[in-house]
Amino acid sequence: MTARPSLLILSFSPIRSDPRVLKQVQLFTPHYDVTTCGYGDAPDGVVEHIEIPREARAWVDDKVGIATRQYKRAYWNTQAVKDAVPKLAGRSFDGVLANDLNAVPLALSLDAKHGVHGDLHEFAPKEKDDDLTWRLTVAPYMRWLCRTYLPRLRSITTVARGIADRYESDYGVKVGVVTNAAPYADRTPQEVHAPIRLIHSAAGQRYRKLENFIELMKDAPSNVTLDMIVMPNEPDYVAELKEQGRGVPGLTFRDPVPYDRLVETLAEYDVSMTFLPPTNFNLAHALPNKFFEAVQARLGLIIGPSPEMASILGEYGLGEVVPDFSVASLRTVVAQLTPEKVAGWKQAADRAAKDLSAEEQQSEWVRAIAELFAAPATATGTA
């Protein structure tokens, strides 16, 4: 029997609960000997998991290295990288799939036989460009990482076309797109509730301006309710939101649920509000998990004028685009909801569910990894 190629999936994230990386694991374990390296427990189906301690942070914090533009030093001083290096030393892989820019130099240093594919989850040089300090200190480091390492990757993917175009124009690399689509769920749309049940599921991060939804519900019509599932990314901010929402009619905060139960949970609702003010470049080009999870749950969608989402929503008739990111405009759209309108959106989601499923969207990953292993063996060289 011919040995299967070995593939390392490297991600400075808790892989079992990282939807995008977990999809990679599930996609490739039937075909390759997959080893994972990241935080937390081993995902199912891998031949080995190399665990990085959760306390080993994956963001650059060498202030001297950043301030003096000793960027190579700064990267290799990152806690998660320093922890992973000895655990990966001496290991041999046929290929590596590196998730996000902060994993790319480490992946290249492993000298995988057929090289490295990079999957970039956002446009790293503008990750926090709403923060002046970050723009002046960390952004130049991110641009250095891109200039230095992206040309050495065998292939690259990212989450949306607008982000891919920016990588291509700024760094001269070809970038494919794999959206954050959810796996296909074989279900049928549920009847519209009375009152109409709205849901917003999000990371609890201040720049997402989740307080907009609390303001919405302070003067919302009585025929709608809103549940919010907010992950505790910034615990102080989440506590503030819950205090602001105390006593607001029709508003409930619901505890987070595991990813493998999320679509089932969303299906209890009628409309998902994926309303992301463009406070930075990546949010302006957002095409998030929650958009696709709503489709698989057979919900309608209310979104802001985010071009990546609006294009798909319009093509399939999945819901309504709010004309701007003001609470007043969002309130107007919500006030015009009717059971008949929402039922039509749910039926549209049902018709679109297969087209917009992970199974249909992941062909670019399949092609990239197949071409990686088909290419002549080469050493990538020390990063």
Q: Answer whether 304's CB lies under 8 Å from 275's CB.
A: yes
Summarize pLDDT for 221-273 with one digit per residue, the tens. Answer: 999 999 999 999 899 999 999 999 999 999 999 999 988 899 999 999 999 99
Indicate if the pLDDT at residue 45 is higher than 60.
Answer: yes
Which CATH homologous superfamily contains domain 196-357?
Answer: Glycogen Phosphorylase B; (3.40.50.2000)
Quote the distance between the C-alpha of residue 166 and its chain's center.
Answer: 17
Residue-level pLDDT at 259: 82
Q: Lowest-pLDDT range, 84-93, 126-135, 151-160, 310-319?
A: 126-135
| Fold that domain 6-178+362-374 belongs to in CATH | Rossmann fold (3.40.50)
pLDDT range class, residue 17, cuts 50, 70, 90: confident
Residue-level pLDDT at 382: 53
| % of the chain beyond a pLDDT of 90 | 92
Q: Answer whether 317's CB lies under 8 Å from 357's CB.
A: no
Q: Which residues of 165-176 are buried (b: 16+ CB within 10 A; e: fewer)?
A: ebbeeebebebb
Beta-bridged to residue 124, according to DSSP, are none
What average pLDDT score do residues 277-294 get?
Answer: 93
pLDDT range class, residue 383, cuts 50, 70, 90: low
Residue-level pLDDT at 129: 87
What average pLDDT score do residues 71-77 get?
Answer: 97
Q: How far apart, in whole angstroms, are the C-alpha atoms of residue 250 and residue 148?
A: 51
**313-320 contact pairs (CB < 8 A, 24+):** 316/348, 316/349, 316/351, 316/352, 316/355, 316/356, 317/344, 317/345, 317/348, 318/345, 318/348, 318/349, 318/352, 319/271, 319/345
Q: How far apart, in whole angstroms, are the C-alpha atoms of residue 38 and residue 51?
A: 5
Indicate if the pLDDT at residue 380 is higher than 80.
Answer: no
Q: How far apart, in whole angstroms, are the C-alpha atoms of residue 39 and residue 23?
A: 16
Residue-level pLDDT at 379: 54
Q: Lowest-pLDDT range, 14-18, 74-78, 89-93, 378-382?
A: 378-382
Summarize pLDDT for 198-221 with one digit per residue, the tens. Answer: 999 988 999 899 999 999 999 999
Question: What ranges do the domains of the chain cover?
Answer: 6-178+362-374, 196-357
Residue-level pLDDT at 355: 95
Residue-level pLDDT at 376: 83
Residue-level pLDDT at 246: 95
Residue type, 22: L
Residue-level pLDDT at 258: 86
Neighbours of 59 (CB within 10 A): 11
Closest Cα to residue 38, out of 107, 115, 90?
Answer: 107
Residue-level pLDDT at 2: 60
| Same-fold call for 6-178+362-374 versus 196-357 | yes
Residue-level pLDDT at 130: 85
Q: How far apart, in whole angstroms, are the C-alpha atoms of residue 210 and residue 207?
A: 8
What average pLDDT score do residues 335-348 get?
Answer: 98
Residue-level pLDDT at 22: 95
Tell me the pLDDT of the chain averaged across its residues.
95
This model's pTM is above 0.85: yes
